[in-house]
């Protein structure tokens, strides 16, 4: 199974182009579209989403992850990360730091293979998609990967007290694990102080609250409403713990 995690958006040709390359390598591949609207140009915030969602996929799953504002530059490496039996293909730009920190063991290999034609701006199609396709067949050919080592991460927080994603309902997901705060905790975001509720129906229609979402992250919502509009929320807004 190959899972796509990108900030490409749902419009345009980019997701389709990557899928086409994968199918050329492995026509029998199973591809799951997880995120195509991850926070744009923000691998740090995306890392918290990726870490929360990947745990719901089985061992052996290959995540093709492209949130890559540094594409084509010499500073960032193209890598495959293996963490707790799952594989993550993409840029080593901070996108994989959180999952590596939260995993039991993570190792990283640099992608040294290059295709005959490599776009300077679309490594998702030309470099990462072929590697994901090879992995879905069992392994990459000899000479594709090198320098396997333990994934080393410095000073990465387990929680990001910011909004990292807003869905079509206007619910605002944070990078905070709900297990790191208690149900009695009062949280503040963009001037609004919000209390916990277990379900939407526990609060009045139109009332704002925070809850533990289905992947274990703190999320802000309004019962039968749009929290992003009602509270003026945007990605990157800071979350404060008031007690």
Show me where the domains of the chain are located: 2-150, 160-241
Q: CATH homologous superfamily for 160-241? A: Bacterial fluorinating enzyme like (2.40.30.90)
pLDDT, residue 243, reads 77
Q: What is the per-residue pLDDT across 185-237, written as a single tens digit (0 to 9) for each? A: 999 999 999 999 999 999 999 999 999 999 999 999 999 999 999 999 999 99
Strand (E) or helix (H) holding 193: strand 192-194
Structure tokens belonging to residue 168? 């079509």
pLDDT, residue 8, reads 97
CB-based burial of residue 12 (10 Å sphere; 0-12 exposed, 13-18 middle, 19+ buried)?
exposed
Cα separation of 200 and 113, whole Å? 49
pLDDT, residue 134, reads 98
pLDDT, residue 87, reads 98
pLDDT, residue 154, reads 80
CB-based burial of residue 228 (10 Å sphere; 0-12 exposed, 13-18 middle, 19+ buried)?
buried
At residue 57 the predicted structure's pLDDT band, cuts being 50, 70 and 90, is very high
How many other CB atoms are found less than 10 A from the CB of residue 74?
6
Helical spans, DSSP H, in 82-234 = 97-102, 123, 129-136, 227-231
Q: What is the mean pLDDT of residues 75-95?
A: 97
Distances from the Cα of 169 to the Cα of 34, 47, 101, 128, 234, angstroms: 17, 22, 31, 32, 13
Q: Of 243, 228, 104, 237, which Cα lies nearest the Cα of 184?
A: 243
Q: What Rg value do the Cα atoms of the chain yield, rounded?
A: 19
Residue-wise burial string across 165-199, b where 16 or more C-beta atoms lie within 10 A, e elsewhere: bbeeebbbbbbbbbeebeeebebebbeeebebbee
Q: Mean pLDDT, the chain, as a whole number? A: 97
Q: What is the per-residue pLDDT across 113-167, written as a single tens digit (0 to 9) for each? A: 999 999 999 999 999 999 999 999 999 999 999 999 999 888 789 999 999 999 9
Q: Is the pTM of this model over 0.75?
A: yes
Q: What residue ranges in 128-171 does DSSP mark as E strands? A: 145-150, 160-166
Q: What is the mean pLDDT of residues 171-197?
A: 97
CATH 3.40.50.200 fits 2-150, yes or no: no
Q: What is the per-residue pLDDT across 21-45, written as a single tens digit (0 to 9) for each? A: 999 999 999 999 999 999 999 999 9
Cα four-point dihedral sign 217, 166, 171, 163: positive
Q: What is the DSSP letter of 180?
A: G
Structure tokens belonging to residue 46? 């995306």
pLDDT, residue 206, reads 98
Separation of first and last alpha carbons in the chain: 42
Beta-ladder partners of 146: 110
């Amino acid at each position: 199974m190959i899972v796509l995690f990108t900030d490409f958006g749902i419009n345009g040709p980019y997701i389709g182009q990557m899928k086409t390359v994968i199918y050329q390598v492995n026509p029998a591949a199973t591809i799951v579209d997880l995120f195509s609207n991850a926070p744009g140009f923000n691998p740090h915030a995306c890392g918290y989403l990726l870490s929360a969602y990947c745990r719901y996929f089985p061992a052996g799953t290959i995540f093709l992850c492209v949130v890559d504002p540094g594409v084509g530059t010499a500073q960032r490496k193209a890598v495959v990360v293996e963490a707790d039996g799952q594989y993550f293909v993409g840029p080593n730009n901070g996108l994989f730091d959180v999952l590596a920190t939260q995993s039991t063991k993570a190792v990283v290999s640099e992608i040294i293979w290059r295709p005959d034609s490599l776009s300077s701006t679309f490594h998702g199609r030309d470099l990462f998609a072929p590697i994901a396709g090879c992995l879905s067949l069992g392994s990459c050919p000899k000479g594709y990967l090198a320098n396997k080592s333990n994934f080393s991460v410095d000073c990465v927080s387990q929680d990001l007290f910011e909004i990292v994603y807003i869905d079509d309902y206007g619910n605002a997901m944070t990078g905070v694990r709900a297990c790191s705060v208690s149900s009695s905790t009062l949280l503040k975001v963009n001037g609004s102080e919000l209390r916990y509720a277990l379900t939407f129906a526990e609060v009045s229609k139109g009332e704002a609250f925070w809850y533990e979402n289905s992947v274990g992250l703190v999320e802000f919502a309004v019962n039968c409403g749009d929290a992003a509009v009602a509270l003026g929320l945007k990605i990157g807004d800071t979350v404060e713990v008031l007690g």
